[in-house]
Amino acid sequence: MQQLLDAVGAVPGELAGRVAVVTGASRGIGRAAAVALAALGAQVAVVDTADAGEQAAEQIRAAGGVARFFRADVADEAAVAHLSRAVRAELDAASIVVNNAILCPVAPVEQMSTALWDRVVAVNLRGAFLVTRAFLAQLRAAEKGTLVNMVSTDAMPGLSAYRASKQGLVGLTQSLAAEVGEGLERLKAILDEIAADFQRLPPFVRPLARSGFRARTGKAIQTWQHESEALLARVRNGRPCDRARLRSDLERLIAYVEGVPAQTARFTRDPAVLAEVQQRMEGYARDLAALQAALAEDNRETASG
């Protein structure tokens, strides 16, 4: 284990003071992750339905680490709600959560019973959702809240329910990332990059570019930067943000970045510059649209739920 941690450049003690929750940690990759997190100083909540969870916790304690076994079925809403309270009470608020628990039975589609399909999806996808939702407030309150969702990319015969649930987990992860911060962090980064671009422009073009930005987006770049910073701080603190307003702001910002290549073409014919601007703006538009889509998705769920 030490060799492995050295190989990835992990620093002993770098997770001291943090509580890590690992589901499905009684064996396999989950157990290895729990042992590694403990070796780096984290107190580990070993979560599993199997008795072997106690042995995994014992292995960590024998090596000098701190671990507790919490028996819980991740697909059981009440059990997961209890788990998040128990972890906080018996260890501390979690700042790392690893959604690792799975069922992975092999059955061709024609032989897969509905009950088996439902159970696999319930453990692998609903379980990850329940655990994430239950611990989100703790992760948000943490200085470096970290959520790891274990996915899988290989399609193999007989694994339809497993693969379908893992594809679903990718979607959940992407939406959540945009929802709770990553998308906002990217928004802030894009605004910082646009502000830096203005600084790089020749002085006589700067006021023109700035006023063009303000005219098309409705706000000066500094206002956008301040607002996105404040929004990010709100979301990190677990407070709600005005999604409708953010979506309409994003619409204007996307329209602006999409128009930049044409604006640039009015000032230069240099193909290298035009290609670079085109590529950058397409990247910005893609990231902003992803954030917007995640917000819209979340809204639909709220509306239908």
End-to-end CA distance of the chain: 45
Interaction between residue 160 and ligand NAD (CB under 6 A): no
Nearest-angstrom CA–CA distance, 41 and 263: 53
CA dihedral sign, ordered 123, 128, 130, 135: positive
Residue of the chain from 18, 20, 30, 83 that contacts ligand NAD (CB under 6 A): 30
Using CA atoms, how far apart are residues 154 and 35, in angstroms rounded to an integer? 26
| Binding of ligand NAD by 152 (CB under 6 A) | yes
Residue nearest to ligand NAD (CB): 28
Indicate whether 165 belongs to the interface with ligand NAD (CB under 6 A).
Answer: no
Q: How far is the CB of 27 from ligand NAD (least distance, A)?
A: 4
Q: How far is the CB of 83 from ligand NAD (least distance, A)?
A: 10
Which one, 49 or 292, has the nearer CB to ligand NAD?
Answer: 49
Tell the burial category of 245 from Cβ atoms under 10 Å away from its Cβ (0-12, 13-18, 19+).
exposed
27 belongs to the binding site for ligand NAD (CB under 6 A): yes
Give the three-class secondary structure for 15.
coil
Determine, following the binding rule CB under 6 A, whether residue 70 of this chain makes contact with ligand NAD: no
Residue 5 binds ligand NAD (CB under 6 A): no
Burial 199-222 (b: 16+ CB within 10 A, else e): eeeeeeeeeebbeebeebbeeebe
Contact 63, 38 (CB under 8 A): yes
User: Within 10 A of 182 (CB to CB), how many other CB atoms are there?
Assistant: 17
Least gap, CB of 289 to ligand NAD (angstroms): 29
Out of 70, 129, 135, 162, pick the active-site residue: 162
Q: Extract the tokens encoding 50.
A: 């199997």
The residue among 122 and 220 lying less far from ligand NAD, judged by its C-beta, is: 122
Q: Among 20-28, 129-137, 228-236, 281-289, which window interacts with ligand NAD (CB under 6 A)?
A: 20-28
Which of 19, 34, 74, 250 touches ligand NAD (CB under 6 A)? 74
Task: Indicate if 256 belongs to the active site.
Answer: no
Task: List the catalytic residues.
Answer: 162
Interacting residues with ligand NAD (CB under 6 A):
23-24, 26-30, 48-50, 73-75, 100-104, 123, 127, 150, 152, 166
